[in-house]
Structure 1
Amino acid sequence: MRRPLLAIIAALGLTACVAGPVGNANPPQPAKSVDLERYAGRWYEVARYDMRFEKGCEGVTAEYSKRPDGLIRVLNTCRQGAVDGPVKVSEGKAKVADVATNAKLKVSFFGPFFFGDYWVLDHADDYSWSIVGEGSGRYLWLLSRRLPTDDDRAALTARAQALGYDTSLLRPTKQPAP
């Protein structure tokens, strides 16, 4: 009993160490419900709060799809160092944490015991863009269904700022030319 408890405490301590600065001391609750069928598919990362697990990643995409067991498949892809760099793929799973809105998920890339929050804070009515964060204000992703333009980046950054996020912490993600 004591060893598992120590492992959990150590894991929580390591998680606190790898998290970045707080970009929003009072993160908002998700603005609207999410239709998971419409949210599924490919998203291009426009910008993010840079984290250890995404260091050096460019050309980042995330794909969501329904799994046979009812969970959501999460497939993150990045190019190491440049938009034409070596491909790095991480596969995880997500489960709905708030069935009333489907806007809060728990996502894991590391097995059944380590789930992180994934909140769809806001999205376009047509699901052309999405802003994702979580309750600590340390994580933020700006996502688009298409390769982002400068106008897309500016609009999403302004929306994140309106939600209370420190946009000076955003790292623009380079994407390949269309």
Structure 2
Amino acid sequence: MKRLLVCLGAAWLLAGCSTSNNDALAPNTVGSVDLQRYQGTWYEQARLPMFFQRNCAQSEAQYTLKPDGNVAVLNRCRTAEGKWEEAKGTASPQVPGKTDKLWVEFDNWVSRLLPGATKGDYWVLYLGDGYSTALVGNPDRRYLWLLSRKPQIDQQTRDELLSKAQQQGYDTTRLIWRTPDADMPKE
């Protein structure tokens, strides 16, 4: 009987460990983002594969701070054929007053049909000096974006962003890199 109780206790303890708080395993965020400084244009340098961006050769995002403290989002994607596609949405803090973990919801038929059900995590994991570069991901490390204020970055900046992403536990071997402007068809 004593052995049974010990085994049950061990099983209960192990079950508690396996269902522990996911935040302990989640990547670290920057703590606070000055959304006034964060707004503007960001160019995607690389990303982990994502269904919604499967046809994108180049992507950029335009963020505009709204009077209510949320952020208007305009994502643009240039396909390999040189055509631009756009998606509009809104980013809002997951916790009021905490600006490094945002929800992003795009305005489409699914979000109109199921309000709130299509929100995605937008966690700011790293910000370069002067808000010049950023790493954005989600808590389960399934998505990652390496962003810059410039369409192209130098090798040192690229290596720095890769290092930061690897330190956070992201698989950088699967990154899809931005197609250089020179390799894109002219409009």
Q: TM-score, normalised by structure 1?
A: 0.77
Structure 1: runs of 5 or more not aligned:
1-25
Map of 2:42 onto structure 1: 43
Query: Are 1:97 and 2:67 matched, yes or no?
Result: no
Query: Are 1:121 and 2:125 matched, yes or no?
Result: yes
Map of 1:136 onto structure 2: 140
Q: Sort the Cα spacing of 1:149 and 1:125 in 2 relative to 1 into closer, same or farther, 3 A.
A: closer
Query: Are 1:169 and 2:169 matched, yes or no?
Result: no
Distance 1:91 1:175 in 2: 25
Distance 2:53 2:59 in 1: 9
Decide whether the 8 Å contact of 1:27 with 1:164 is kept in 2.
no
Q: TM-score, normalised by structure 2?
A: 0.74
Larger radius of gyration: 2
CA RMSD after TM alignment: 1.9
Which amino acid letter does the alignment assign opposite residue 75 of structure 2?
N
Instruction: Tell me the CA shift for residue 163 of structure 1.
Output: 1.7
Distance 1:155 1:89 in 2: 29
Decide whether the 8 Å contact of 1:32 with 1:122 is kept in 2.
no
Distance 1:117 1:41 in 2: 20
In the comparison of the two structures, how many residue pairs are matched? 151
Map of 1:159 onto structure 2: 164
Instruction: Tell me the CA shift for residue 125 of structure 1.
Output: 3.3
Map of 1:12 onto structure 2: none
Query: Which structure features the higher share of helix residues?
Result: 2
Which amino acid letter does the alignment assign opposite residue 167 of structure 2?
A
- Highest RCO, 1 vs 2 (Cα 8 Å, sep ≥ 6): 1
Structure 2: runs of 5 or more not aligned:
1-24, 183-187
